Chain A
Amino acid sequence: MTPMDRRRFFKITAITGTTAALASCGNPENQIVRFIPDEELTPGVAVWKPSVCPLCAAGCGVTARVMDGDAEVFRSGQPGVTRMGLVRKLEGDPEHPLSKGRLCVRGQAAVQVTYHPDRLVAPQRRSGDRGSGQFTEITWDEALSVLVERLDATAAAPAQLAVLSRPRRGRRHELVAEFLRRFGAPAPVSFEIFDDAVLRRANDLSFGRHQLPTFDLARTSYLLNFGADLLGTWNSPLAHSVAYGAMRQGRGGSRPKFVQVEPRMSQTGASADEWLAVRPGTEGALALGLAHVVMKAGLRPADGGGRAGAQIEGWSGGLPAFTPEAVEKETGVSAERIERLAREFASYGPAVAVIGGAPLAQTNGLAQALAVNALNALVGSVGVEGGVSFMPQGPVPAAPARTLREALAAAPPQVLLLDDANPVFAAPAAWKVRDWLRQVPFIASFGSFIDETSALADLILPDHSFLESWVESAPESGAATAVATVAGPAMRPLYDTRSMPDVLLDAGRRLKTPLAPALPWQTFEEMLQAPAAEPAPVAAAPARSTAAAAPTAWRAPELDGSAGEYPFQFMPYPSQALFDGSLAHLPWLQELPDPLTTAMWSSWVELNVRTAETLGIADGDVVEVASAHGSLRAPVVISPGIGPDAAAMPVGQGHETFTRYASGRGANPLAILAPVAEPSTGQLAWAATRVKITRISGADGSLILFAGATRERPDHTRGRG
Chain B
Amino acid sequence: MAHRWGMVVDLDKCTGCEACVTACHAENNIPTAGATEAGRGRAMHWLRVERYWEGDFPDVKVKFKPVMCQHCDNAPCEAVCPTYASHQTDEGLNAQVYNRCIGTRYCANACSYNVRFFNFFNPQWEKPLQLQLNPDVSVREVGVMEKCTFCVQRIKSGKSAAKADGRELKDGDIQPACVQSCPAGAIIFGDLNDHESRAARLTHSPRGTKLLEDEGTEPKVTYLQRQSWNEPDTQ
Contact = CB atoms under 8 A, between A and B. Distances in A.
Interface of A: 44, 67, 69, 71-72, 86, 88-92, 101-109, 111-112, 115-117, 231-232, 237-238, 241-242, 244-246, 248-257, 265, 267-271, 273-277, 494, 576-577, 587-593, 595-596, 598, 600-601, 608-609, 640-644, 660, 665, 701, 704, 706-707, 709-713, 715, 718-719, 721
Contacts of A44: 135
Contacts of A598: 51
A524 B49 CA distance: 42
B127 A117 contact: yes
B215 interface: no
Nearest to A577: B18
Given A108-B23, A232-B17, A250-B235, A609 B57 contact: yes
Given A253-B233, A275-B60, A718-B40, A105 B128 contact: no
Nearest to A276: B58
Interface string B129-161: 101111100000000000000000000000000
B195 interface: no
Contacts of A254: 230-233
A270 B11 CA distance: 12
Interface in B80-132: 108, 114-115, 117-118, 120, 126-129, 131-132
Contact of B19 (A105, A608, A710): A105
A595 B133 CA distance: 25
Given A595-B16, A712-B42, A587 B32 contact: yes
A277 B12 contact: no
B181 interface: yes
B51 A248 contact: no
A281 B117 CA distance: 45
Nearest to A241: B183
Contact of A108 (B131, B181, B224): B181
A249 B19 contact: no
Given A232-B17, A241-B15, A712-B41, A275 B61 contact: yes
A271 B55 CA distance: 15
A476 B50 CA distance: 34
B16 A641 contact: no
Interface centre among B13, B50, B118, B235 (most CB of A within 10 A): B13
Given A69-B135, A709-B43, A248 B21 contact: no
A609 B48 contact: no
Contact of B229 (A88, A238, A257): A257
Q: Which A-B residue pairs are the 9 nearest by beta carbons? A: A245-B184, A241-B183, A277-B58, A270-B62, A108-B22, A601-B35, A249-B235, A710-B114, A250-B235
A595 B57 contact: no
Contacts of A588: 22, 25-26, 32
Interface of B: 10, 12-19, 21-23, 25-27, 32-35, 38-43, 45, 48-51, 53, 55-58, 60-64, 108, 114-115, 117-118, 120, 126-129, 131-135, 180-186, 224, 227-235
Contacts of B40: 712-713, 715, 718
B183 A238 contact: yes
A271 B229 CA distance: 12
A71 B23 contact: no
Contact of A642 (B18, B23, B39, B57): B57
A91 B183 contact: no
B128 A587 contact: no
Nearest to B60: A640
Contacts of A596: 16, 51, 62
B21 to A, nearest CB: 6
B186 A270 contact: no
B13 A248 contact: yes
B132 A111 contact: yes
A251 B120 CA distance: 47
B19 A591 contact: no
A116 B234 contact: no
Contacts, number: 244
A187 B193 CA distance: 63
Contact of A102 (B10, B19, B51): B19
Nearest to A494: B128
Contacts of B232: 253-255
20 contacts: A67-B135, A88-B134, A89-B132, A101-B180, A107-B19, A108-B19, A117-B126, A117-B129, A237-B17, A237-B183, A248-B12, A250-B233, A256-B229, A592-B18, A595-B17, A596-B62, A600-B35, A640-B53, A641-B60, A709-B41
A704 B39 contact: yes
Contacts of B26: 89-90, 108-109, 111, 588
Contact of B183 (A69, A245, A589, A718): A245
B230 A257 contact: yes
Contacts of B126: 117, 660
Contacts of B15: 231-232, 241, 244, 267-268, 270-271
A595 B128 contact: no
Contact of B233 (A111, A252, A591): A252
A595 B115 CA distance: 17
Nearest to A598: B51
A232 B19 CA distance: 10
B51 A270 contact: yes
Contact of B57 (A92, A277, A577): A277
Interface centre among B39, B62, B115, B118 (most CB of A within 10 A): B39
B97 to A, nearest CB: 22
A587 B35 CA distance: 10
B229 A273 contact: yes
Contacts of B227: 249, 255
Given A103-B181, A109-B22, A71 B231 contact: no
Contact of A721 (B18, B41, B61, B115): B41
Nearest to B20: A105
A6 to B, nearest CB: 21
Given A91-B181, A241-B15, A244-B13, A706 B35 contact: no
A632 B114 CA distance: 36
Contacts of B115: 710
Contacts of B56: 609, 640
A265 B60 contact: yes
B128 A115 contact: yes
Nearest to B54: A640
A92 to B, nearest CB: 7
A474 B87 CA distance: 50
A718 B36 CA distance: 8
B184 A706 contact: no
Contacts of A494: 128
Contact of A665 (B32, B33, B35): B35
Contacts of A715: 40
Given A271-B15, A665-B35, A244 B233 contact: no
Contacts of A273: 228-229
A589 B22 contact: yes
A710 B117 CA distance: 8
A593 B22 contact: no
Contacts of A704: 35, 38-39, 43
Nearest to A601: B35
